[in-house]
Structure formats: structure tokens, C-alpha cells
Chains A and B, each alone.
Chain A
């Protein structure tokens, strides 16, 4: 009269394997995170470009610029020369009056140079002693000054901050300091597009100053040589923010033919005190 039927299994539960659902959800969530981070980074970069330069200077003043405290006489002369060359290039690039370029020379073996917030440009001895002409040095300075001109440091920071906030919101971590601990001291990451924009601006200025672009490509060749020596091999183009060295050299040649810039011409030697540092070692 009264009975409980035996119910078939699987009425109240899903038969689907739990890992299948899990992997679909996980891929979806990761894709969402990537899209949100990229989108926020993009808008962060865009909005940061709208920050007035005076505000950027205030942000930059939060950090101490890296300077050698005990600079020798030869180093002071070198620094003055670099600063004067940078000012000349800044004028050639038509930098606004408020955008002051400050050159910092660091006595380090690192083969690197970078532009950062507030018009600060950091040059390492390691890179400078590899350059043999003023033309190559001008190319380097013009490249870094172009970063400042196009507001790349603040755009890069804006992108980093926005993406960092997105990641902190998703992972729920509250420890992250949005501006970072060493904002000015570390190299900001510029996109490949930014690097190319700066390369092209630097070439324009090189031509304007010297009437030819001879010697400009030495910079890229030095980077290429260094990487070959280190035997690290170049990382795949997709992951590298600096366009691959060979690509930069090719781009240099392409730009030259496109604009009919002279690729030969007299090279300007570097001043004598420039090499003093090297012989002292």
C-alpha cells in the first residue's frame, strides 16, 4: 500500500565529469582576467598620457634620482658634456619649455640606458664606453629624449598601475603598493610600438643635427654584439619589448631609404675626456 520506489541515480546530480566543467570555467576565467587586465592597462596608459607634465614632475620628486655622490673632476666634465648634448637634442626635438631633461651618469658596468619619469635619463658607463662616436651617443640620447617627449614613462606607469590594481582586485591581495617601491629607479617597460616611435624620432633628430645618419646604427649593433657575446640568444619577438636588434637595424635602413637620408658622412669624434674613464680602469 505504501512504498518508496527505487529512484534511478543521476536525477539530482550532473553526470558530466567535474574536470570538464572545471577546465572550461578555468579557461574562461583566465581569459577574462587577461582581457580585463589588458583593457585596464590600455585605458590606464591612455589616461596617464593626459596627466599634465607638472604632475608627472611631482610624482618623480617622490623618488631620489640615482646619482654618483663622489664624482671626480673628469666625471663632472663628462656629465656637463652629456647634459649639454641632451639639451641640444631636446631643442631639436622641440620639447616643450617645461620638459627639462636631466641626465644622470652612473658608474656601472651595466650596458644600459633608460628614460624615466620627470625627464630623467639614466646612462650607465657600461653602455657609454661601447660607443665610439658622438653620432651614436646622440642617437642614444635622442631615443631616450623621444621617450620623454611622447610621455612614454608616465603612460607606461599608468598602464602598470591600472593592470596592477586589476590583478590585486582579482586576487584579493591588499599588500601591493600601486606606484611601486622603486618607480624611478627601475626601468619602465615600454611597448615595442613606443620603442619604434622613439627610434624614428631619434633618426629624424640625428639627420637634423648632422645632415646624415651615419653612425646611428652603431647603438643597435652594440646591443646585438653584446647579446651574442652573452650567448643568451634573443628572446622571441613576441615577448621582447625592445624590437629585436636585427629588426631595429633593418628598420633603421628602411627609414633611411624612405626619407632619402644620407647614410654616409663625416663622423664626429667624442671629446677626449670621454675616454679618460676607460683608460683609468
Chain B
């Protein structure tokens, strides 16, 4: 009985705090993405032709943990299979945040573009039971700054 009460409290705490934090994070992400739009990040490996650039490796890294509510919901999902929608926002936020941090670094270098952008996603809590899932997303690319002759 005690265990059920503890679980219920953890789930509701996870729901309210997790949802609040997520909404806040999304607002923050959308705001910064609009500002950073002036600095395009491209997946292409080939820099624009006919121009010379100063090239610097830039990266952005973020670690996000899941809340108890979402982990519980995903655990229930395990029984039936299907789309694990409770993890979608976690990964979405992590990827976007990592790119934003990378772009911020590029901006500080006064770069014009970031090329060859790639992601690495790692599960930090991988294989450990009784631990909330935690993911790390690492975004990196080559910042290009035009060399004016």
C-alpha cells in the first residue's frame, strides 16, 4: 500500500513539474530559434563555392532527464507496443537545444554558416534499472566565416 501511494505521488509530481518545465523549455527554444534563424545550419558537407572561409569546429551539448510520469507511461507502453509519444518531446527538445547551443558558439565566432551538422545521441542511463532515462544529445558542425580580402 505504501508503495502504491509513493508511486502515485511521484507520478503526479512528475506530471506537474515535468509538464511545467517542458512548456517553459519549448517557449525558450522557439524564442531563440527565431533569433538564430539568421545563422543557417546546413547538413551539406561542401561549403559554398567561390568563396574563402575561416573554418572552426563548433559544438553544442545537452543532457535532459525524463520525468517520472513519462517514464511510467513509457513503461506501460512496453506492455502493448506502439508509438512511445512520451519520449518524443524529450528527444525533440534535446536535439533542438543542442543545435541552438552550437549555433550560439558559432555566433560568438561571427560565423556566417554552420556546415556539415551532425548529431550524436547517447542514453546515459542505458541498461540501468530503477533510474530515470537520461539522454545526451551532442550536435557539432563546421562554422564558416567569410574571409574578406
Contacts and interface: CB of A to CB of B under 8 A. Distances in A.
A171 B59 CA distance: 43
B24 to A, nearest CB: 15
Given A25-B80, A29-B76, A2 B92 contact: no
Contact of B42 (A2, A29, A171): A2
A2 B76 contact: no
Given A18-B70, A26-B76, A6 B37 contact: yes
Interface in A26-80: 26, 28-29, 32
A6 B34 contact: yes
B19 interface: yes
Contact of B113 (A2, A6, A19, A32): A2
Given A4-B37, A4-B41, A21-B73, A13 B79 contact: no
A37 to B, nearest CB: 15
A9 B93 CA distance: 11
B105 interface: no
A interface residue count range (under 10 / 10 to 19 / 20 to 34 / 35 or more):
20 to 34
A28 B40 CA distance: 46
B105 to A, nearest CB: 16
Contact of B83 (A1, A14, A28): A14
Contacts of A28: 76, 79-80
A9 B26 CA distance: 10
A32 B79 contact: yes
B48 A2 contact: yes
A9 B22 CA distance: 14
B40 A2 contact: yes
Interface residues of B, number: 28
Contacts of A171: 3
A13 B73 contact: no
Contacts of B26: 9
B70 A14 contact: no
A29 B19 CA distance: 23
A272 interface: no
Contacts of A2: 40, 42, 48, 113
A10 to B, nearest CB: 10
A13 B85 CA distance: 7
B84 to A, nearest CB: 10
B67 to A, nearest CB: 10
A21 B86 contact: yes
Contact of A22 (B76, B83, B89, B92): B76
A279 interface: no
Quick one: which of B30, B70, B73 has the most chain A CB within 10 A?
B73
